[in-house]
């Protein structure tokens, strides 16, 4: 009797555990149909691995990927860690290799840390496409580059020139003083100004350190030191949002133009209240869409990632592989009052 009751308890615990396992595994029939089916004889199972799940930016890009995979008749899956750390991505790369998917589309949390895992997946004949954040070029087959530095610099200068009428003083609110990409963009913007807009004068570059409050204060200081200022460019999403917040409550609202790189969700209210006319970024949905088509082209053997290879990417048209096995999405996307409500990231 003693034994019986204890055994009953043990069995209860066991049954509960098994039930949990069964519940967990229940969905696998629908989820792992990826294996080897898909198109003709190529493996068109494509897995998207973003930096982390629950991030609106990647939700948008991966929705684009899912749309593309559906168009070419493959199977789409999205996996990922909840926190954006490189080592947590490794187990998902390993899982994709075990499942034998055709291609893995990944945004790397670290350019080196996931390299070995990617190499192992490639030796299990999984094609690797990176998007948004690249790894070391040796570790992947193709990188989908969201925007070129030249494109980013040019679109912001074009936007500000249009908004201030082609002449006057402008300033730049950047991230930190030693941010490599920001400095490269600023340099290219100066070249673009000198070449195409000699009447626009860049009076100062200030650094908000990608901190909301610092960027806010720097914006206020800029407007005090340069009363003639007609426009501000902020090539960082934190900076542009903070600057917009300052402008929207100041007397300069509407008279000082603001543009730069921002996300629709952060900028929506300032576009609607007239503080900001237009700003730029790439379209993450297109980025995911292109990455999925690139994965398909690799999986079918249509391209190998050599420079000069070309492939079709559905509604986006034809693309060519550039140097370092990278593909450029195109010119940055301009968001304004007319289209901002189509985006949620």
Residues at the interface with other proteins (CB under 8 A):
1-3, 5-7, 9-10, 12-14, 16-18, 20-25, 27-28, 31-32, 35, 53, 77, 79-83, 85-87, 90-92, 94-95, 97-100, 110, 112-113, 115-116, 124
CB 105 within 8 A of CB 49: yes
Nearer to other proteins, 77 or 192 (CB): 77
d(CA 78, CA 295): 14
Nearer to other proteins, 83 or 273 (CB): 83
Nearer to other proteins, 111 or 322 (CB): 111
d(CA 260, CA 233): 5
Minimum distance from residue 299 beta carbon to other proteins (Å): 18
Minimum distance from residue 109 beta carbon to other proteins (Å): 10
Minimum distance from residue 325 beta carbon to other proteins (Å): 20
Minimum distance from residue 80 beta carbon to other proteins (Å): 7
Burial class (CB in 10 A: 0-12, 13-18, 19+), 203: middle
Tell me the three-class secondary structure of 299-319, residue by residue.
Answer: HCCCCCCCCCCEEECHHHCEE
Minimum distance from residue 9 beta carbon to other proteins (Å): 4
Burial class (CB in 10 A: 0-12, 13-18, 19+), 16: exposed
Minimum distance from residue 13 beta carbon to other proteins (Å): 4
d(CA 51, CA 177): 26
CB 168 within 8 A of CB 228: yes
- Residue 344's nearest CA partner among 284, 288, 291 is 284
Which token pair is 36? 């080897």
Nearer to other proteins, 113 or 202 (CB): 113
Nearer to other proteins, 123 or 224 (CB): 123
Nearer to other proteins, 94 or 250 (CB): 94
């Amino acid at each position: 009797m003693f034994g019986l009751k204890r055994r009953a308890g043990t069995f209860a615990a066991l049954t509960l555990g098994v039930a949990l396992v069964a519940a967990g595994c229940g969905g696998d029939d629908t989820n792992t149909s990826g294996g080897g089916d898909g198109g003709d004889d190529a493996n068109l199972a494509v897995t998207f691995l973003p930096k982390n799940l629950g991030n609106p930016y990647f939700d948008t890009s991966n929705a684009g990927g899912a749309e593309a995979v559906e168009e070419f008749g493959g199977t789409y899956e999205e996996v990922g860690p909840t926190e954006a750390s490189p080592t947590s991505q490794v187990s998902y790369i390993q899982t994709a290799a075990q499942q034998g998917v055709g291609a893995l589309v990944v945004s790397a949390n670290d350019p080196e840390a996931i390299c070995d895992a990617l190499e192992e997946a490639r030796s299990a004949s999984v094609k690797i496409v990176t998007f948004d954040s690249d790894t070391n070029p040796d570790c992947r087959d193709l990188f989908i580059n969201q925007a070129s530095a030249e494109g980013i610099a040019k679109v912001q200068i074009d936007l500000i020139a249009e908004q201030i009428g082609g002449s006057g003083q402008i300033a730049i609110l950047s991230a930190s003083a030693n941010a490599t990409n920001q400095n490269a963009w600023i340099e290219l913007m100066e070249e673009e100004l000198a070449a195409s807009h000699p009447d626009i004068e860049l009076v100062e570059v200030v650094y908000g350190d990608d901190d909301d409050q610092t960027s806010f204060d720097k914006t206020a200081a800029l407007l005090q030191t340069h009363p003639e200022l007609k426009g501000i460019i902020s090539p960082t999403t934190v900076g542009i949002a903070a600057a917009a917040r300052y402008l929207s409550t100041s007397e300069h609202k509407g008279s000082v133009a603001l543009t730069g790189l921002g996300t629709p969700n952060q900028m929506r209210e300032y576009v609607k209240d007239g503080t900001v006319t237009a700003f730029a970024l790439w379209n993450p949905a297109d980025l995911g869409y292109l990455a999925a088509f690139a994965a398909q082209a690799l999986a079918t053997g249509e391209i190998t990632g050599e420079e000069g290879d070309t492939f079709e990417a559905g509604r986006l048209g034809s693309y060519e592989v550039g140097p370092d096995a990278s593909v450029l999405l195109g010119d940055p996307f301009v968001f304004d009052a007319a289209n901002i409500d189509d985006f949620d990231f």
